[in-house]
A and B are shown apart, each in its own frame.
Chain A
Amino acid sequence: MGSQKRIAKELAELTESAPEGITVKLADESNLYIWNVYMEGPENSPYQNGTFHLTLTLPTEYPFKPPTVSFRTKIYHPNVTNDDKGSMCLGMLRADEWKPSSRLAAVLQFARQLLAEPMPDDAVEGRIAEQFKGDFARYEEVAREWTRKYAVRG
């Protein structure tokens, strides 16, 4: 599998010099295709102080097919589905946007950036997006509450 080599390389890079606020581990040492990602909520966002557990799943065709990113930790965010899947809508991960030359580090950084700056126009949770646009204070409040409830350990 050509993809394993590349994935291993990217994983090594990511564990060696992880982007800020992001920790990466294999979910299962024998399986390169599922990663556990721990992402700290960006400062000055309602997700601050939270640590969010994400799963990064790589298709066997990687890098020709995009990976998928899903939140295991519940999060109140217009771009993350509010179900048990917690799938995240990332523009660069759409099949027609994905380029094999995109790196997972960039994907994760982009995901974290999305926590700092949600994109309500590209939302999967329309209700939250509306609230984000119409009643930001309330959105922030709920998001902070959810962060406290689900994403803060201890």
Chain B
Amino acid sequence: MSSVSVSASASPSSNLLPSSPSPLPSSDSRSRPLRRLSQLRAYTQLHFSSPPPQQPQQQQQQQPSVASSSSSSTNSQRVSRRHTLGSRVSWFSAASTGPDSLTSTVGTTTRAPCPESEHQSTFARYSSVFSPSYRGLELDLRSQPSPTESSNSPLRNETATATGNQTQEIMARPRGSSQAVEARPNGEVSSAGNIQPGALESPDPVVSESPCTSSPRPKQKATIRFFPHQDSHASSRPSLPFIPISRTLPSDSCVIRVGRYSERDGTPVANPTEPSDAPVGFKSKVVSRKHCEFMYLNGQWHVKDVGSSSGTFLNHMRLSQPNIASRLYTIKDGDIVQLGIDFRGGEEMIFRCVRIRIECNRSWQQQPNEFNKNTENLIKNLGKGDTADYSGCRECSICLGSVLRPYQCLFMAACAHVWHYKCVSRLIHTPDYPMFQCPNCRAYTDLSAEVDDTNDFEEQEESKSASAEDKPEALEPARSETHTPQQDPNAITQPSRTSGDERHPETRLPVEAGLAANIENMRLQDLDASDDNSSQPPAPTSNPDSVPSNANNEVPGWQSLTQSPSSAQTRPAQLRAETPVRSESSDENPLTPLNDSGPSYPQNATPPTES
């Protein structure tokens, strides 16, 4: 396929998508009023906290006004909104209706309480959950992962517009991942026939944004990152270690599903370099297959339990009773979300609960702001002897000395904090490498993240998106426009890279992917011979666009491998390999023995500061 045809066929379809919710604009606005009803918490709790089996009756009682046609989907929708347990009410969103009209509001909203996040994401979900052959209209419906996700009637209609759906699917897919590989051919087959292969590739550039690059981001996309959290209280056992996971939503309406790791999800990508709503899997038996979901609504991240058996806890508060979905709870940066409870004392890794420290709403940090512009200034002026025009921080927060002296090795994190390399190096070369936590602001940086040299694009986008409205919906069309021109290079490189090879990302590892990855490979094989090629993480290093980055990445990686004692030596590689590949949590899995390294895993898995 030529790149030209790609982009040509792409732009209509990608434009289609944003507009696809348009059949339900009313539901969108309807849902908004609900948000202001938080004072009605008690009321809604009463009404929503009944267990699902009683739903239908309950619902009829509560809202006789609900049209019978929509009631079935309504019910399932509402399951997710029951159980308003705690105080963190953040209703989907909602418009104007007054308190006393709640019932009617609910009645209307039920059809599409949160149209964007529920229905669009449903499509995106299929892409990563179900094996490609299941894709297709009727199968889509059948394979709804859970009642909460079941579609409402408008949604079904929309399924017919398979073009848009497919596009969305691919958009949601990490570019280099094996999932994407699977999806493409099938997308062609299953998608109502009117999709050109090129159209499937085309959205990729839309996705070219990486969540954790160090360069400022002109556009805000919802990004959330999960870091392992170890409870500070000595009494508590260590939770399941996992490598930090990062997700940037391809569109605000996507949902990140979290559950027990399942083979069906394909090889998880811990830190896709471009937007993805790939499900997040944890290899613990206390995590239900469908445990909880993270979604981005109205500029805020939310979590909800989707009927897990052992519970989702937000800052120690359980969101819902066993097997019952909770409502949405807002989460903020630094919150701790715990999945499940240690079973059998959590002695075995597989029975440990998962504690996730949330990092979100940090996008301001990744965009040009006064602070990092100052830092840029600093770097520009280093060595020129003239630092008078530098108004930012001049101090290394570790030695409290000036960072303005020339000829001093400096280290700047993605958050634009700067230290002497000598001072900060012990925070860099930790067992958590390549994750680096800023000792000033606690932001995590993936030191092996791709170098993003898309500055020109960014400037373009910046100007364009600046003219667009702030509202994400309004931005959506603008985005796809701006991206279209960029896609050509990607569209070209991609098919050649991805076609043919299936599940083994490492086989796709381009030569340029670099020494760092190779080193890891070697480590792994030394460690565990049975853990064959499936263990190579689709780590950021596997991206072929990474040529320029390797020079930077290898050096620290190599140092950390050689400098640290042998246990720490293998850890980064081991960790990185282990988690993203988390395969079925069955005991006979060859990867499971690897998990035994867990108990010896240092307590301070989270912040490098502790080590």
Contact = CB atoms under 8 A, between A and B. Distances in A.
Decide whether A and B assemble into one complex.
yes
B400 interface: yes
Given A64-B426, A100-B609, A101-B440, A6 B232 contact: no
A6 B439 contact: no
Interface of A: 2, 5-6, 9-10, 63-64, 94-101
A94 B234 CA distance: 11
B260 to A, nearest CB: 27
B228 to A, nearest CB: 12
Give 4 closest A-B pairs by Cβ, nearest first.
A101-B397, A100-B439, A96-B232, A101-B440
Contact of B230 (A9, A96, A98): A96
B34 interface: no
A17 to B, nearest CB: 15
Contacts of B397: 100-101
B232 A2 contact: no
Nearest to B420: A2
B400 to A, nearest CB: 5
A153 to B, nearest CB: 34
Given A2-B398, A2-B399, A5-B401, 7 more contacts: A10-B400, A64-B426, A99-B439, A99-B442, A100-B397, A100-B398, A101-B397
B607 interface: yes
A96 B610 contact: yes
A95 B399 contact: no
Contacts of B604: 95
Nearest to A97: B232
A96 B606 CA distance: 9
Interface residues of B, number: 19
B427 interface: yes
Interface of B: 230, 232, 397-401, 422-423, 426-427, 439-440, 442, 604, 606-607, 609-610
Contacts of A5: 399, 401
Nearest to A101: B397
B439 A96 contact: no
Contacts of A6: 398-400
Nearest to B603: A95
B439 A94 contact: no
B202 to A, nearest CB: 45
Q: By CB atoms of chain B within 10 A, which of A9, A94, A101 has the most?
A: A101
Nearest to B440: A101
Given A2-B422, A64-B609, A99 B399 contact: no
B420 to A, nearest CB: 9
A100 B604 CA distance: 15
Contacts of A64: 426-427, 609
B95 to A, nearest CB: 38
A43 to B, nearest CB: 31
A63 B426 CA distance: 11
A101 B427 CA distance: 12
A5 B401 CA distance: 9
A101 B424 CA distance: 11
Contacts of A2: 398-399, 422-423
Contacts of A10: 400
B429 to A, nearest CB: 12
A137 to B, nearest CB: 31
A10 B400 CA distance: 8
Nearest to A7: B400
Q: By CB atoms of chain B within 10 A, which of A6, A9, A10 has the most?
A: A6
Contacts of B610: 95-96
Contacts of B423: 2
A101 to B, nearest CB: 4
Q: By CB atoms of chain B within 10 A, which of A2, A10, A64 has the most?
A: A64
17 contacts: A2-B398, A2-B399, A6-B399, A6-B400, A9-B400, A10-B400, A63-B398, A64-B427, A64-B609, A94-B232, A96-B230, A96-B232, A98-B609, A99-B440, A99-B442, A101-B397, A101-B439
B400 A100 contact: no
Contacts of B607: 96
Contacts of A96: 230, 232, 606-607, 609-610
A6 B402 CA distance: 12
Contacts of B440: 99, 101
B232 A95 contact: yes
Nearest to A61: B426
A51 to B, nearest CB: 29
Contacts of B232: 94-97
B542 to A, nearest CB: 32
Contacts of B401: 5, 9
B336 to A, nearest CB: 11
A95 B606 CA distance: 11
B241 to A, nearest CB: 15
Contacts of A101: 397-398, 439-440
A151 to B, nearest CB: 31
A96 to B, nearest CB: 4
A134 B398 CA distance: 43
B422 A99 contact: no
A97 B229 CA distance: 12
Nearest to A63: B398
Contacts of B230: 96
A104 to B, nearest CB: 11
Contacts of B399: 2, 5-6, 9
A99 B609 contact: yes
A101 B417 CA distance: 11
Nearest to A95: B610
B193 to A, nearest CB: 55
Contacts of B606: 96
A142 to B, nearest CB: 28
Contacts of A97: 232
Nearest to A13: B400
A39 to B, nearest CB: 23
A2 B420 CA distance: 12
